[in-house]
A and B are shown apart, each in its own frame.
Chain A
Amino acid sequence: EPEVTQTPSHQVTQMGQEVILRCVPISNHLYFYWYRQILGQKVEFLVSFYNNEISEKSEIFDDQFSVERPDGSNFTLKIRSTKLEDSAMYFCASSDGGGTEAFFGQGTRLTVV
């Protein structure tokens, strides 16, 4: 069964460093998303991406964040200068449009020290 794949599963980084979280969405999907979940809190929307551009973003998604689809299969989230409060589980998701389900990856646990 097709699935969304995220790498790495866990990343530890020092405050102020740049990190890139990687995702391979389901191959025929057109809509891509990043969400995050701080420990013990709700899953929060960060950004959606369609047709090679951001279609929607939350107030969390400030200038420190960027997304890219560098080729036909990968979708990345970059955090330019990580802060302690960026520590969270980051989920990538994709959907094929038309009111169908969003499928989520297993997440990348980011720990900023």
Chain B
Amino acid sequence: KQEVTQIPAALSVPEGENLVLNCSFTDSAIYNLQWFRQDPGKGLTSLLLIQSSQREQTSGRLNASLDKSSGRSTLYIAASQPGDSATYLCAVPPHTGANSKLTFGKGITLSVRP
């Protein structure tokens, strides 16, 4: 059974810092990996999707990497801003298909201090 872990549960950084959020998964047979942002009491906003054949994906100040063999992904946020404060979740579907269920990590709650 796939397990997705995100450590630490919370992180506080000063504005402007570059930071890395980690995601690990136990079963490396994944189809892709998706990173989401969740603001308090709100829905999930898709940030990046990395296909299993890719190593990296970039969108603006965000860069996600994927190392399937070691069961890890990282989300790099450059020049963090207070507006980046949110919970960041990673999620994976099984290798059987991208349209199968996503297994989520519990998320990392990021606070960027002005």
Q: Which residues of A contact B (CB under 8 A)?
A: 6, 31, 33, 35, 41-45, 48, 50, 55-56, 58, 89, 91, 93, 95, 97-107, 109
How far is A50 from B101 in the complex, measured between Cα atoms in Å? 12
How far is A99 from B91 in the complex, measured between Cα atoms in Å? 14
A94 nearest CB across to chain B (Å): 10
- Which chain B residues border A43 with CB–CB below 8 Å? 44, 89, 91, 102, 104
Top 4 A-B residue pairs of the complex, sorted by shortest distance between their CB atoms:
A106-B43, A45-B101, A99-B98, A104-B44
User: A-facing mask of B6-50, CB < 8 A → 1, else 0?
Assistant: 000000000000000000000000011010100001111110010
How far is A100 from B97 in the complex, measured between Cα atoms in Å? 10
Q: CB distance A42 to B104 under 8 Å?
A: yes
Q: CB distance B43 to A56 under 8 Å?
A: no
How far is A44 from B42 in the complex, measured between Cα atoms in Å? 16
**Chain B interface category by residue count:** 20 to 34
Query: Is B99's beta carbon under 8 Å from chain A?
Result: yes
Contacting residue for B98 out of A91, A93, A97, CB 8 A: A97
- Which chain B residues border A95 with CB–CB below 8 Å? 98-99
Query: Is B100's beta carbon under 8 Å from chain A?
Result: yes
Q: CB distance B43 to A105 under 8 Å?
A: yes
Q: CB distance A107 to B49 under 8 Å?
A: no
- Which chain A residues border B43 with CB–CB below 8 Å? 6, 91, 104-107
How far is A100 from B104 in the complex, measured between Cα atoms in Å? 17
- Which chain A residues border B101 with CB–CB below 8 Å? 33, 45, 48, 56, 58
Contacting residue for B51 out of A99, A102, A103, A105, CB 8 A: A99
